[in-house]
């Protein structure tokens, strides 16, 4: 299947060898050198799951080389896979994020992204965490239900979904605004470390209300 068709049909597309295992391990080591700079996120209003993150502005200040090398490569692949001209979302803090999910209780609850396309690069996954995605065919039903059932988001696990357990170096391109997805907690000790880059089509109209909602509800 062509990647474009795969993305349209499933809402995601996997590129398992985007980075070599050695390259992924090298970047992970760089992140570990600034371990102390990751902040604990408890989830807004106590409704989200905990995890640790470094936002785009902090990443630019502390890990400028990662940003400079990886973000353009992620954008290029995301453009190729979506067949669209893309640009990083306007909010620089959310345009690039590094997220760490430790042990068996850190994760990211079911949500839709505020941005059109997300490139999700796995750098480490020793606790076997996963990205879970509900197929796009459920979206027309789930979009209106999502905000109504927001406090009960765990019920969305009852819908059919795929579980993507990525190895270090795998890149997933996700139509994050179009499919319900989550960062599922791992089933062992260790942690999953992902770098996310968020893109919108070039010249897309600003969506201040939707952006506010995404920020308010997601992080």
Ligand X SMILES: O=C(O)CCC(=O)C(=O)O
The only residue of 55, 106, 113, 132 in contact with Fe ion, by rule CB under 5 A: 113
Which listed residue (41, 131, 193, 195) binds ligand X by CB under 6 A? 131
Does residue 132 bind Fe ion (CB under 5 A)?
Answer: no
Interface mask toward ligand X for 184-213; x: CB under 6 A? ----------x-x-----------------
Label residue 215 exposed, middle or buried (CB < 10 Å: 0-12, 13-18, 19+): middle
Tokens of 192: 């999953």
Binders in 109-128 for ligand X, by CB under 6 A: 113, 120
d(CA 77, CA 194) in angstroms, rounded, equals 17
Dist CA 195 CA 129 (whole Å): 14
Query: Chain centroid to CA 47: how far?
Result: 18
Of 2 and 183, CB closest to ligand X? 183
Q: What is the CA radius of gyration of the chain?
A: 16
- Minimum Å gap between C-beta 113 and ligand X is 5
Answer with the entry of Fe ion, ligand X, none that 196 interacts with (C-beta below 5 to 8 A by kind). Answer: ligand X
CA angle, 149 as apex, 11 and 116 as ends, to 5°? 30
Residue ranges in contact with ligand X by CB under 6 A: 99, 108, 113, 120, 131, 181, 183, 194, 196
Residue ranges in contact with Fe ion by CB under 5 A: 113, 176
């Amino acid at each position: 299947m062509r990647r474009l068709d795969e993305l349209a049909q499933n809402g995601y597309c996997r590129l398992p060898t985007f980075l070599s295992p050695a390259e992924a391990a090298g970047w992970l080591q760089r992140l570990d050198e600034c371990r102390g700079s990751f902040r604990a996120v408890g989830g807004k209003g106590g409704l989200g799951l905990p995890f640790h993150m470094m936002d785009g502005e902090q990443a630019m200040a502390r890990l400028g080389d990662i940003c400079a090398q990886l973000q353009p490569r992620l954008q290029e692949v995301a453009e190729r896979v979506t067949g669209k001209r893309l640009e990083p979302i306007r909010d620089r803090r959310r345009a690039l994020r590094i997220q760490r999910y430790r042990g068996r209780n850190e994760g990211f609850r079911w949500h839709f992204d505020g941005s059109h396309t997300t490139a999700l690069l796995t750098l480490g996954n020793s606790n076997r965490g996963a990205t879970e995605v509900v197929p796009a065919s459920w979206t027309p039903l789930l979009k209106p239900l999502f905000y109504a059932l927001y406090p009960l988001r765990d019920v969305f696990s009852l819908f059919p979904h795929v579980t993507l357990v990525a190895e270090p170096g795998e890149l997933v391109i996700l139509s994050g605004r179009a499919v319900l997805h989550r960062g599922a907690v791992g089933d062992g000790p260790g942690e999953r470390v992902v770098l996310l880059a968020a893109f919108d089509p070039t010249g897309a109209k600003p969506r201040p209300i939707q952006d506010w909602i995404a920020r308010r509800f997601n992080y």
